Structure 1
Amino acid sequence: MILLDENTHAIVQGITGKQGRFHTKDMLAYGTNIVAGTSPGKAGQTVEGVPVYNSIEEIKKHHPEVNASIIFIPAPYVKDAAFEAISELDLVIIITEHIPIRDTMEIVEYAKENNTILIGPNTPGIITPEIGKLGIMPTHIFQKGKVGLVSRSGTLTYEVASQISNSGIGISTAVGIGGDPVNGQNFTDILKKFEEDSETEKIVMLGEIGGIAEVKAAKYAEEHLTKPIVSFIAGVSAPLGKRMGHAGAIIEGTDGTAQNKKDLLAGHGVHVADRPADIVNIIKNL
């Protein structure tokens, strides 16, 4: 397992909002260790039995063990919330989408300066089966196993995780890095963590058109990693210059096309699937 384990003591920023309440209940039901939440001006309330505070500073006074946060806050206010979390905690996950790109760039840079692991924004989060989740993914499709899953797409993550779990192979940890052009942890960062994880034997990397993050990760893996990687790139039929779904999924020139990525990944030793449905068979044959 990576990122989320038995030592994770998490808070929910924006816990009294509609999304915060709903997903807090779901995360608790899955066994996640949610210690507290923030909602300025609403200290003293509880959500699903979880105490609410005005700030992370207040939480740390009562719960010094807190080391992770998941953010459910409207986009215009995420930057302040993220800076607060990054300055205090080891792991910060931003679910919110449509954050201004300048804000995201500043958040990512601040996380690097503070050596805080940042997941997102615009991510479904992370899940470690039988341990917990800090995210919004449907838990029933993730069964415990030995395959590490990293993806830019939430929907594609769910489809592939379901197939891997139904096959009896299962997932060690699944991480959505986010679909925006700028995000915290990238594919290479997560591949490094899976390489060091004793519970992960094989890795699935789900990418999209646009950018070169998947190719950079594959090149790094070829030179430094020992565990086999299976990849699928979504967007084979996407036209040049048109954004497809995620803000980061846009082709400029030929470098970001799905076919070009597939060719480059294969050239770096990655096992490339033509369809998501092919991934399980490739895993079984590795």
Structure 2
Amino acid sequence: YQEYDEAGLKIELLDPMYFAPDETQYYIQAPDSIIKEEPDMSSMTIQPIPMGEGVIRIGIGDSWSKIRTEDGVEGYVLTDTLSYEMVWQAIYRDVWVDTDSLTLRAEPSTESEVVATLSDETHLVADNVADKWYHVTTDSGLEGYVYISYTTQTPPPTPTPTPTPVPPSNNGGGGGGSSSGGGTGVDYNQVVGGTYENTGNNGQTIANIAESMLGVSYVWGASSSSAVDCSGLVCYCYAELGVTLPHYSQSLCSVGEPVSRDNVQVGDIVCWDTGGGYCGHVGIYVGGGQCIDARGVNYGVVYGDIDRHPIVTIRRIFT
């Protein structure tokens, strides 16, 4: 015998104190599932739980189960929302290895056969996700499973090209538009570990150049008036004043001199941590709490709040 509520969902007839004990691994197989305080849809919702997440069932009722999440949250879900098998969802996601070495396995288990050992920054295409695992394919065609927590969706920085000094420009250069002031002829080797003496309002000039780039397309590895990536935008703007900088976000963390968030000035380079524990994105401060940065292929060059990501460092080239 089974009773149903107005929504057609099963009503639990067994008192929770009489649920049979269990300690079995299950997976959420229904989208938009929620954990309830009691085995009753009218009881308080503790939290939503995403499809595919692994849980431990700790109690078995007639139509509801008591579960415990990985974070230790306990509550009740309809038993029909649980699957004994991993629940896979199709995706298409570029990811990169984010540890010194990562094991590619034949099955989603740490006890499974090792297919290969992948080095840091190896590119992978993930086509399915379940609980803590991706199913991936390497660029060489190997397939297998990797642990999600050892990957990142942030692409590795573009390798630093050999610095090429930019000839001085008497009028601030073209291509970036609205620059003003004299060229400096500074190269990257002169900039690292020190600042360049300001012979005019160079910080504002850098901001003006950045603003002239608003709307320009994002292309990874590019640094021109028609396309840039995040470090490429910074390199392009400073090159317009004759300053050669490394086309590499993490290297930009060591150019010039560090300044505090409270002392940021127009034209400073802002280096953010976007989730990997290191500088993964850079932009140029233009005043009013705003930066200009090359955000990604869906955005191009845009304005953004300086505090939208944790700041790793702020670097000043001109004093």
TM range (shorter): under 0.3
Using the size of structure 2 for normalisation, the TM-score is 0.21
Structure whose alpha-carbon radius of gyration is higher: 2
More helix by share: 1
Using the size of structure 1 for normalisation, the TM-score is 0.23
Query: Of the two structures, which has the highest relative contact order with CA contacts closer than 8 Å and spacing of 6 or more?
Result: 1
